[in-house]
């Protein structure tokens, strides 16, 4: 037999799965066992049978009939009380016992079913609930009709009740497990596991009257397989009914809310899904309590919860009796172990440390606890099963090279609107296109990570500064789609925010998994968003332009004229180089034209910009200011300042080499590519580096720089103008530079694209 206690609100974590120990169990659920009366030791035997049927079964669900026989008195011999044969009101498929008084395991039971009288079954695993001790598991039978028990009268038993379970299948008269199995195709590397819905688990049993899940699922990476038997009958022609009986006993009679095993196997080799929650779910099938740890394992410090990190597999039947391991069960067990071993990297012939010691990766319940489970006839075959499971594991190529691949599917929204300082839920989905199952437990879990750390959208639910979410469901198989749900928190100092996220496994980001989220922040007292602007991106030197900018009031408070103003800055908060003398302040301090701008209305600002005399690209930064901080975007403009005078070099005859005594007549031609006409206002200067006097200066020059004028009276846009002058070679050999520059005479304004450099080698 096995025993595992489920984690509920009624237990501390270390109380899960305890055996042979008094365990506080508070359960407010109403059970048929509530309607009982007491008895006095030494009186005559009085038997009372109570028949109950589980309530609220929906159409199409099997109803579990629960009957009880209470012994109102015990007539004891010197050492043992043998009950009379107790007939039940209906045929049963499973039964258990409960008593008040001493904590003991000296109670044995037998039953009469279609196979005759069974052997005596000793109760090994106990649960205490509402002042009663219960057998932790039901004993399965095949259409049982009678019960009998023996008890050592010296242990102080005060009350005893036998609880037996039957079924009512009016809606499923033609139901047969084999019909189900033959309808399912089986691939070479997959298992036919009969799902909970297929063996007709009533999921209502997992929830309290208020709709709360009694035993919420938790997950951990499995490291070992624990083999159990269930004792009693194999389930006969209705093994699925036996599974439902165990489920009912665990979920309803004991109040756990689910079955404790991860998988169950019948004598035909059919595998049944056990505990709800899928792979990695923590069951309730083996817990070593202090009493057991002290008596067998060396001390109370070896109390251990082996439900964590193990897969509990129960075989229907009593392998302490005459039942032996048949080929169907052996194949099903080893197939299941090989497949799950491949998935989680558990080698069947291996061994590994778990909690307190090194154990084989396939163990019997008795290896970890004080019990005879899984029975001698099954336990002695474990080594054979390790070998066979290892062969199948190897045939599956052991732990195959994992292929981790994912495809973005969709996200809940591209744009979220969130009030400042508040959080809102978001989800994204990815399809598993690899060859391994994704888990939200263990190592190398898939996670959603943020690109920029720290994130302005980090919410309280995030797992770390960079990890926004783990996988919602515990397992996502290849081909399935997994969802990641997490919260986003709106900042209080931004109008909107953009953030990029990716899917990662461990510290490796999945390729092409990046997705973006935009957040618009609302409920800000003062906030503004640029609605439109009219700014010429290019100006000529000394020109003026009129600019109009419109800002929408995105805050909750109205703007008063004179209290909300527009400032214009250069880089680093300096005065703008496009400053216009019409401004009231070096930084603008420009008022909007409306008298008042309410929430979601538009404010209009009109002002002038004046281009400097310097050519180049200039940045203006625009910011609304007031008594309170105004949350807004970074608004700026880039303006290019050009000259109306522009030129392109057409030809020249400045030599690459000259002798040191040469006087060189030079002709240079430029095309007027600007918008202004050239005349005597345009001159050509000739310099050395840093505008020093050219070493080719001739005595004919009117000034140090030459200041040569056009030969033509005027050169209109698109026409070509010519300059003539003389260069005199310096006496010293070497490489010399001449810089030619067109310039507006009497001004610092240069002619755009009017500067060219030439190098001439001088020889003797």
- Vertex 225: Cα angle to 270 and 165 (nearest 5): 50
CB under 8 Å to 9, separation ≥6 — which residues? none
Percent of the chain with pLDDT over 90: 71
Q: Does 131 lie in the same domain as 53? A: yes
Torsion on CA atoms 303, 305, 311, 314, rounded to nearest 10: 70
| Contact present, 141 and 93 (Cβ < 8 Å) | yes
Token representation of residue 79: 């050492």
The answer to whether position 629 is within a domain reads yes
Label residue 399 by pLDDT band (50, 70, 90).
Answer: low
The answer to whether position 2 is within a domain reads no
Label residue 184 by pLDDT band (50, 70, 90).
Answer: very low
Quick one: which of 545, 552, 555, 549 has its CA closest to 567?
Answer: 549
What is the domain-level CATH number for residue 608? 2.60.40.10
pLDDT at 76: 52
pLDDT at 105: 65
Q: Look at residue 92 and tell me whether its pLDDT is greater than 60.
A: yes
CA 675/CA 479 separation, integer angstroms? 67
Q: Does 510 lie in the same domain as 420? A: yes
The residue with tokens 């003797």 is 764
Q: Which among 341, 368, 395 is the end of a domain?
A: 395
The answer to whether position 351 is within a domain reads yes
Q: What value does the mean pLDDT take over residues 194-208?
A: 95
| Contact present, 100 and 133 (Cβ < 8 Å) | yes
pLDDT at 423: 97
Label residue 232 by pLDDT band (50, 70, 90).
Answer: confident
Q: Which among 395, 426, 460 is the end of a domain?
A: 395
What is the domain-level CATH number for residue 136? 3.40.80.10
Q: Look at residue 37 and tell me whether its pLDDT is greater than 80.
A: no
Q: Does 293 lie in the same domain as 177? A: yes
Per the structure, how many domains does the chain have? 4
Judged by average pLDDT, the poorest of 74-83, 477-486, 487-496, 606-615 is: 74-83
Q: Look at residue 314 and tell me whether its pLDDT is greater than 80.
A: yes
Quick one: which of 223, 228, 222 has its CA closest to 359?
Answer: 223
Whole-number mean pLDDT of the chain?
87
Q: Does 662 lie in the same domain as 637? A: no
Sheet holding 481-489, edge to edge: 406-411, 423-432, 481-489
Q: Look at residue 44 and tell me whether its pLDDT is greater than 60.
A: no
Supply the Cα-derived Rg of the chain in whole angstroms.
45
Q: Does 503 lie in the same domain as 390? A: no
pLDDT at 302: 93
Quick one: which of 695, 699, 700, 698 has its CA closest to 736?
Answer: 695
| Contact present, 623 and 635 (Cβ < 8 Å) | yes
**Structural domain boundaries, residue 260:** 13-395
Q: Does 424 lie in the same domain as 351? A: no
pLDDT at 262: 98
pLDDT at 127: 81
Quick one: which of 118, 121, 339, 366 has its CA closest to 226?
Answer: 366
Q: What is the DSSP string of 189-216?
A: T---EEPTTTTT--GGGGB-TTS-BSS-
| Contact present, 721 and 669 (Cβ < 8 Å) | yes
Taking the CB of residue 129, how many other CB atoms lie within 10 A of it?
A: 20
Q: What value does the mean pLDDT take over residues 399-413?
A: 88
Span 705-723, pLDDT tens digits: 999 999 999 999 999 999 9
Q: Does 563 lie in the same domain as 469? A: no
Taking the whole predicted model, whether its pTM rises above 0.95 is answered as no
CB under 8 Å to 284, separation ≥6 — which residues? 4, 5, 6, 7, 16, 17, 250, 256, 260, 275, 307
Span 51-62, pLDDT tens digits: 333 333 333 456
Pairwise pLDDT comparison (13 vs 433), residue with the higher score: 433
The answer to whether position 654 is within a domain reads yes
Span 539-584, pLDDT tens digits: 999 999 999 999 999 999 999 999 999 999 999 999 999 999 999 9
Q: Residues 471, 476, 478, 480: is their CA dihedral positive or negative?
A: negative
pLDDT at 70: 79
* Total residue count of the chain as it appears in this document: 764
Q: Look at residue 180 and tell me whether its pLDDT is greater than 70.
A: no
pLDDT at 608: 98
pLDDT at 563: 96
Q: Does 689 lie in the same domain as 756? A: yes
The answer to whether position 384 is within a domain reads yes
Q: Does 578 lie in the same domain as 451? A: no
The answer to whether position 5 is within a domain reads no
CA distances 339 to 89, 124, 331, 482, 640, Å, are: 44, 32, 12, 22, 69
pLDDT at 726: 97
Label residue 204 by pLDDT band (50, 70, 90).
Answer: very high
CA 414/CA 209 separation, integer angstroms? 39
212-249 in b/e burial notation, b at 16+ Cβ within 10 A?
eebbebebbbbbbbbbbbbbbbbbbebbbbbbbbbbbb
pLDDT at 58: 37
Span 616-655, pLDDT tens digits: 999 999 999 999 999 999 999 999 999 999 999 999 999 9
Q: Does 579 lie in the same domain as 517? A: no
pLDDT at 104: 72
Token representation of residue 355: 């909690």
Q: Look at residue 29 and tell me whether its pLDDT is greater than 80.
A: no
Q: Does 548 lie in the same domain as 471? A: no
CB burial class (10 A; 0-12, 13-18, 19+) of residue 568?
buried
Q: At what angle do helices 327-344 and 382-395 cross, to 10 degrees?
A: 50
The answer to whether position 106 is within a domain reads yes
Q: Which among 483, 506, 522 is the end of a domain?
A: 522
The answer to whether position 6 is within a domain reads no
Taking the CB of residue 486, how many other CB atoms lie within 10 A of it?
A: 22
pLDDT at 406: 97
| Contact present, 521 and 497 (Cβ < 8 Å) | yes
Quick one: which of 97, 113, 105, 128 has its CA closest to 15?
Answer: 128
Q: Does 356 lie in the same domain as 482? A: no
């Amino acid at each position: 037999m096995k025993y595992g206690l489920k984690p509920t609100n009624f237990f501390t974590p270390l109380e899960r799965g305890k055996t042979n120990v008094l365990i506080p169990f508070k359960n407010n659920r109403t059970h048929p066992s509530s309607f009982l009366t007491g008895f006095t030791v030494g009186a005559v035997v009085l038997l009372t049978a109570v028949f109950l049927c589980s309530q609220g079964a929906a159409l199409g669900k099997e109803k579990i009939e629960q009957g009880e026989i209470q012994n109102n008195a015990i007539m004891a011999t010197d050492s043992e009380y043998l009950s009379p044969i107790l007939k039940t009101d209906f045929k049963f498929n499973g039964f258990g016992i409960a008593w008040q008084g001493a904590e003991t395991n000296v109670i044995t039971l037998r039953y009469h079913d279609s196979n005759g009288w069974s052997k005596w079954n000793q109760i090994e695993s106990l649960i205490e609930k509402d002042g009663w001790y219960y057998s932790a598991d039901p004993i399965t039978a095949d259409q049982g009709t009678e019960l009998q028990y023996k008890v050592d009268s010296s242990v102080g038993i005060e009350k005893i009740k036998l609880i037996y379970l039957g079924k009512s299948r009016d809606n499923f008269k033609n139901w047969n497990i084999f019909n189900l199995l033959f309808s399912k195709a089986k691939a070479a590397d997959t298992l036919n596991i009969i799902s909970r819905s297929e063996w007709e688990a009533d999921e209502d049993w997992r929830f309290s009257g208020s709709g709360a899940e009694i035993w919420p699922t938790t997950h951990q990476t499995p490291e070992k397989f624990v083999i159990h038997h269930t004792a009693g009958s194999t389930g006969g022609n209705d093994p699925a009914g036996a599974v439902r009986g165990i489920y009912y006993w665990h979920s309803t009679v004991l109040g756990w809310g689910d079955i404790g095993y991860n998988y169950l196997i019948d004598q035909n080799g059919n595998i049944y899904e056990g505990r709800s929650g899928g792979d990695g779910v923590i069951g309730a099938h083996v817990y070593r309590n202090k009493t057991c740890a002290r008596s067998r394992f060396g001390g109370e410090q070896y109390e251990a919860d082996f439900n964590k990190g193990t897969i509990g597999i129960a075989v229907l039947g009593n392998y302490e009796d005459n039942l032996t391991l048949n080929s169907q069960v052996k194949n099903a067990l080893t197939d299941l172990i090989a497949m799950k071993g491949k998935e989680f990297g558990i080698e069947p012939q291996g061994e590994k440390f778990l909690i307190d010691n090194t154990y084989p990766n396939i163990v019997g319940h008795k290896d970890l606890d004080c019990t005879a489970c899984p029975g001698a006839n099954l336990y002695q075959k474990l080594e054979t099963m390790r070998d066979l499971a290892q062969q199948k594991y190897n045939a599956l190529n052991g732990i195959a090279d994992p292929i981790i691949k994912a495809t973005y599917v969709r996200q809940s929204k591209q744009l979220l609107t969130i009030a400042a300082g508040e959080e809102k839920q978001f989800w994204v989905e990815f399809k598993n296109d690899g060859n391994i199952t994704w888990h939200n437990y263990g190592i190398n879990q898939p996670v959603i990570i943020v690109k920029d750390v720290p994130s302005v959208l980090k919410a309280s639910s995030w797992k770390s500064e960079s990890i926004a979410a783990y996988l919602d469901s515990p397992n996502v198989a290849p081909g399935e789609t997994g969802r990641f749900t997490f919260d986003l928190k709106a900042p209080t100092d931004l109008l909107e925010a953009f953030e990029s996220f990716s899917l990662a496994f461990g510290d490796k980001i999945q390729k092409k998994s990046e997705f973006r989220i935009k957040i618009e922040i609302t409920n800000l007292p003062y906030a503004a968003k640029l609605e439109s602007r009219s700014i010429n991106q290019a100006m000529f030197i000394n020109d003026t332009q009129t600019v109009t900018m419109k800002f929408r009031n995105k805050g909750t408070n109205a703007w008063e004229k004179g209290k909300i103003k527009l400032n214009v800055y250069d880089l680093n908060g300096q005065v703008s180089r496009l400053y216009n003398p019409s401004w009231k302040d070096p930084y603008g301090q420009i008022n909007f034209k409306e008298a008042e701008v309410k929430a979601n209305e538009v404010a209009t600002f009109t002002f002038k910009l004046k281009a400097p005399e310097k050519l180049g690209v200039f940045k203006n930064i625009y910011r609304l200011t007031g008594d309170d901080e105004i949350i807004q975007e970074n608004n700026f403009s880039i303006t290019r300042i050009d000259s109306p005078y522009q030129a392109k070099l057409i030809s020249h005859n400045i030599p690459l080499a000259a002798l040191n005594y040469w006087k060189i007549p030079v002709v240079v031609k430029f095309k007027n590519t600007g918008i202004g006409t050239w005349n005597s206002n345009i001159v050509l200067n000739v310099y050395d580096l840093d505008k020093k006097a050219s070493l080719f200066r001739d005595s004919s020059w009117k000034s140090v720089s030459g200041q040569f004028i056009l030969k033509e009276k005027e050169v209109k846009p698109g026409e070509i103008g010519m300059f003539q002058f003389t260069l005199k070679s310096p006496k010293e050999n070497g490489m010399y530079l001449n810089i030619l520059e067109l310039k507006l005479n009497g001004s610092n304004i240069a002619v755009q694209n009017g500067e060219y450099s030439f190098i001439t080698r001088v020889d003797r």
